Amino acid sequence: MPPVEIPVEKWPGKVREVTIGGNGRKSVTVGGESALPFLSFEGQIPNRPRIAIEVVDMVPEDWADNLVQAWGDAMKSPAAWAKKAAEYGADLICLSLDSAHPDGPNTGPKEAVESVTSVLEAVDLPLIVLGPGVADKDNEVLTAVADAASGQRIVLGFCEEKNYRTIVAAALAGGHLVIAKTPIEINLAKQLNILVSDMGLPPDRILMDPTTGALGYGLEYVYSVMERLRLAALQGDSMTQIPIINIAGKEAWRQKEAKAAQGVPDFWGDAARRGILWEEITASELLLAGSDILVMRHPEAVQKVKATIDSLMGS
């Protein structure tokens, strides 16, 4: 019989390349794909997906036991935590300014700048900074951080439809990037990217967060939105040609399967391994759907997922 002819897709469009960091510190470039995730036989995949390890600016109160054990004393300061994260192979650091939450310690711009500066000095890795997730507080702390880190090309998160102008302005002034976050909906994602770039922020300084759902808690929704976003990008839709970042670790570890050791069914298996597997499978599925940056928590999950990325990239 004649040789099998493998159908190969040739796409007119590709995802933009986005670079974080540089200017004397390490940089990471993501995106640039002209094929569906990891299908290198029919297109270019110039940059592998990267792992950012999440560092919190306070000792978290509600993390699962095995996650706390994994980090230990390093959690006492963002700088120490970032150093440990670098040792565990982080490609980027993602600093969550949880202490600035009004319901928590409610720290302010001064503390935020201290935390960010200490991390920038402690490690040579590119940096993502997430505000506490409350609009006015985000604006306040991220503006201060953007100014203090001017020229370092960090990523500021999150810009949402109801609150993006101040953060985009800060990114413009400081030479930074932003994460545009939308609730698992492809048209809202496009719309927000348009609003952000209409303010003058070049599209190669935007990352998309389609809002991650963990395994068993909405994964298939974000998985399918991401597949549709990549297909749209490859078909030439310019406002979807933006790399994707997923906050995978936080989502996986807040679920009962990851946190609870008692009072759970036997069929759930072993508590010590379960949360790590929950994070690993959430993360690997997001990779298949087109994730460019995974923000993760457990060092073992980071290592196993990096090995999976190596395997998928053929190296």
Chain contacts with another protein (rule: CB under 8 A): 1, 3-7, 38-41, 183-184, 215-220, 223-224, 227-228, 231, 254, 256-257, 259-260, 263, 265-270, 273-274, 276-278, 280-281, 284-285, 288, 304-305, 307-308, 311-314
Give min distance, CB of 144 to another protein, in A: 27
Three-state secondary structure call for residue 142 = helix
Per the listing, tokens 């505000």 go with: 131
Choice between 94 and 215, CB closer to another protein: 215
Element (H, E) at 81: helix 78-87
Give min distance, CB of 72 to another protein, in A: 22
Choice between 14 and 259, CB closer to another protein: 259
Choice between 176 and 181, CB closer to another protein: 181
Choice between 8 and 173, CB closer to another protein: 8
Q: Are 149 and 116 in contact (CB under 8 A)?
A: yes
Choice between 73 and 220, CB closer to another protein: 220
Choice between 200 and 267, CB closer to another protein: 267
Choice between 203 and 218, CB closer to another protein: 218
Q: How far is CA 118 from CA 73, 123, 149, in A?
A: 17, 9, 11
Give min distance, CB of 278 to another protein, in A: 6
Structure-derived torsion over alpha carbons of residues 78, 306, 34, 291, reported in degrees to the nearest 10 = -50
Structure-derived torsion over alpha carbons of residues 103, 108, 113, 115, reported in degrees to the nearest 10 = -40
Element (H, E) at 178: strand 177-181
Three-state secondary structure call for residue 119 = helix
Q: Which two tokens stand for residue 298?
A: 């457990």
Q: Which two tokens stand for residue 82?
A: 């970032």
CA atoms within 13 A on the CB side of 46: 14
Q: Are 146 and 111 in contact (CB under 8 A)?
A: no
Q: Which two tokens stand for residue 52?
A: 């950012």
Closest to 139 in 3D by CA, of 170, 118, 114? 170
Give min distance, CB of 165 to another protein, in A: 20
Choice between 94 and 225, CB closer to another protein: 225
Give min distance, CB of 302 to another protein, in A: 12
Give min distance, CB of 239 to another protein, in A: 19
Per the listing, tokens 């997906």 go with: 49
CA atoms within 13 A on the CB side of 142: 37
Give min distance, CB of 260 to another protein, in A: 8
